[in-house]
Amino acid sequence: MQLHNFNSGPAILPQEVLDQAAAAIHNFNNTGLSILEIGHRTSHFVEVIEEAKTIVKRLMNIGEEYEVLFLQGGATMQFMQVPMNLLDETGMAAICDNGVWGNKAVKEAKLFGPVTVVSDSSDKKHTYLHKQLNLPADTTYLHITTNNTVEGTQWHSYPQLGVPLVGDMSSDIFCRPTDFSKFDLIYAGAQKNMGAAGVTMVVVKKSLLGKVNRKIPAILDYQKHIEAGSLLNTPPVFSIYVSLLTLRWIEKEGGLVEMEKRNLEKANLLYKTIDEHPLFYCPIAQEDRSIMNAVFFLNDSSKEAAFLELCKKEGMIGVKGYRTVGGIRVSMYNAMPLSSVVAFCDLMKSFA
């Protein structure tokens, strides 16, 4: 039976990336050593991390004013590392709370300075994005979660309000062409759209740093990581290598323009199937629907268990909704083939 991996993260990877990573575990670049064994300060690995940085900048079309870092701790670490480096009592963090991850960002930022929630969609269970933002005069930065993995919403245009913009792009990084220069800091856990779990990419405008008064532990200081070239401590070597392979794959397949074309085709097919069959409904505002994570429900909730059991029987992996939301969640990251979405839609029609 063919499996269709709709997991929300860690998520599907391109087959050729898996094959290349597996080969490198046994013999990395004909060195006779495993990628798991090479020293992180050797030329072998420095070449890996430098190529990865170069491709990131090329895909983002950004210049030397930005630095690309490969760190650890996931987006959860960034919820506190961002305010630790950018926020103190002299300013205000303006944060959009449009779901689970935005809410966590709010809680962590409050440990380091004043926070104001400028977008709160909880009045409608986070089924839309509140985009009318009023920022306090002393706003230091605005933080948004560009794609809400749990709730199924996505920003399709970004607010430009005259303050530095910080984006958690963990679940939609490189899914489409974006004017990345609108952001002053971007972070993304790799495990959804850019590689394997264990590494977090941070892209930061260097002029943003060094403005807070507090002392920052070296391991949490972006400037220290920049100075060390992401080698301040032993980095997640294998995860960075898988990210490099995935970045190469994105470029080889046609870059972000091609990724968007494929992702729109998959998302449009799935949402069309949901909307055309009365058994299913998607409560997400149409203009805010995510092309990465479709969240929907059955109008007759008593049939949900049977539908999920059928999905399991037919090899549809990871489609049960997040524990606090319920329903169905279908994640369609870059590596997800259209054929899997077609198979899922056929299953929906058959069940309906």
Averaged in consecutive runs of 10 residues, what is the pLDDT profile of the chain (352 residues)? 96 98 98 97 96 98 98 98 96 97 98 98 97 96 98 98 98 98 98 98 98 97 98 98 98 98 98 97 98 98 97 98 96 98 98 96
- Of 189, 203, 194, nearest to 242 (Cα)? 194
- The single residue of 53, 184, 192, 221 carrying the catalytic annotation is 192
**Domain range spanning residue 264?**
255-351
In the annotation, is 155 catalytic?
Answer: no
Residue whose pair of structure tokens reads 């899922």 in the numeric block = 344
Residue 177 domain flag: yes
**Residue 1: what pLDDT?**
86
Whole-number Å distance between alpha carbons of 299 and 280: 6
Tokens, residue 176: 């489409």
Residue 174 domain flag: yes
Please tell me whether residues 183 and 92 are part of one structural domain: yes
Please tell me whether residues 116 and 264 are part of one structural domain: no
Please tell me whether residues 246 and 344 are part of one structural domain: no
Please tell me whether residues 138 and 41 are part of one structural domain: yes
Asked if 68 and 93 touch (Cβ cutoff 8 Å), the reply is no
Residue 6 domain flag: no
Please tell me whether residues 142 and 126 are part of one structural domain: yes
Please tell me whether residues 101 and 204 are part of one structural domain: yes
CATH of the domain at 264: 3.90.1150.10
Residue 335 domain flag: yes
Tokens, residue 346: 């056929």
Please tell me whether residues 238 and 94 are part of one structural domain: yes
- Of 32, 66, 29, nearest to 45 (Cα)? 29
pTM: 0.97
User: 233: part of which helix (H) or strand (E)?
Assistant: none
Whole-number Å distance between alpha carbons of 231 and 147: 29
Tokens, residue 48: 């890996």
Please tell me whether residues 232 and 287 are part of one structural domain: no
In the annotation, is 211 catalytic?
Answer: no
- The single residue of 53, 97, 101, 172 carrying the catalytic annotation is 101
Please tell me whether residues 119 and 267 are part of one structural domain: no
Domains in the chain: how many in total? Answer: 2
- Of 305, 317, 306, nearest to 344 (Cα)? 317
Please tell me whether residues 178 and 31 are part of one structural domain: yes
In the annotation, is 110 catalytic?
Answer: no
**Residue 53: what pLDDT?**
98
**Residue 255: what pLDDT?**
98
Asked if 79 and 112 touch (Cβ cutoff 8 Å), the reply is no
- The single residue of 97, 168, 172, 221 carrying the catalytic annotation is 168
User: 189: part of which helix (H) or strand (E)?
Assistant: strand 185-189
User: What three-state secondary structure class fits 218?
Assistant: helix
